[in-house]
Homo-oligomer: A and B are copies of this chain.
């Protein structure tokens, strides 16, 4: 895992000197809020926290009462990798998976789920929120019209829409559309915008596009221990990250090397790239012998656990399902070197 980008670190160091108001009353937090508002072209209320788990769980708690449900993809980070933080912060709301290819929920599947879920109050748990990951856990991105169809379905059942944007920057960079197109214009109520995976040290923003949804949020954040006394620490990271489109430059770079890696891998005999590479993650099935060779040479990547691949495929016993992630620090030369190694060079 990479550290912070130079620009983010520089902002942090500059913000460190001198005395500043605590608990987010500092000028860097104000600047971050203004930059977010500019970037999204909309008034918004933003709350900075240090982890994606905190951001997602707190955001969901603003919409899902303890006896409601949250619909999400079965591979969503909130259901797979955040322990039971969503349950903790909501006070017990239930996560209900809605399956779909590419890590995406498709609108018809959402509609079918909403129609089939039992809704006999007070006996059944009824859904209050649908959560989308942008980019998805399979490294693909939702198009604005896909999002709009989902939020329309959600809205017709009175559900709010949450977007887990741990890789939102990669999605924006990949699609070339505006942050607004992917969020409030498409019907998203709350976005958790992640900077940590893309250039910051530890900084995530919970962004509400309608202030009425965030009335209690300052208390929720404090009660969760997520109000940092020296708020400038978060404000400076976000300001440094957002100034001059730096956040998108970082994401673009990571996306580019991911595509390079994906193209390269797909040309290697025995390697199958699993999903289209649209963000900064490449999923590939490697011969076990290749995997051993790469790791022997010091390469490091995740072995992925996934019940099934697209089209019902499975990784064979003599294969490994690998997840390779590029970051803003990954260079094209490094990818080339890796590919050469993979080609047996």
Contacts and interface: CB of A to CB of B under 8 A. Distances in A.
Contacts of A222: 53, 82-83, 85, 122-123
A298 to B, nearest CB: 11
Nearest to A87: B92
A123 B81 contact: yes
Given A51-B228, A202-B229, A223 B3 contact: no
A159 interface: no
Interface stretch (A167-175, A213-221, A286-294): A213-221
B22 A1 contact: yes
Contact of A233 (B19, B201, B216): B201
A89 interface: yes
A125 interface: yes
A194 B188 CA distance: 38
A125 B225 contact: no
B118 A91 contact: no
A225 B89 contact: yes
Contact of A219 (B19, B67, B201, B225): B67
A315 to B, nearest CB: 14
A118 B229 contact: no
Given A82-B123, A84-B67, A227 B16 contact: no
A266 interface: no
B1 A17 contact: no
A190 interface: no
Contacts of A53: 222, 225, 227
Nearest to A233: B201
Interface in A27-81: 49-55, 57-58, 65-68, 80-81
A104 interface: no
Nearest to A4: B16
Contacts of A88: 66-67, 92, 223-224
A297 interface: no
A20 interface: yes
A101 interface: no
Contacts of A95: 94
Given A197-B229, A224-B224, 10 more contacts: A1-B230, A53-B222, A55-B225, A66-B84, A81-B123, A85-B222, A87-B92, A94-B94, A122-B222, A123-B222
12 contacts: A3-B232, A51-B229, A53-B222, A66-B223, A67-B219, A82-B123, A82-B222, A88-B223, A89-B225, A94-B95, A121-B219, A202-B230
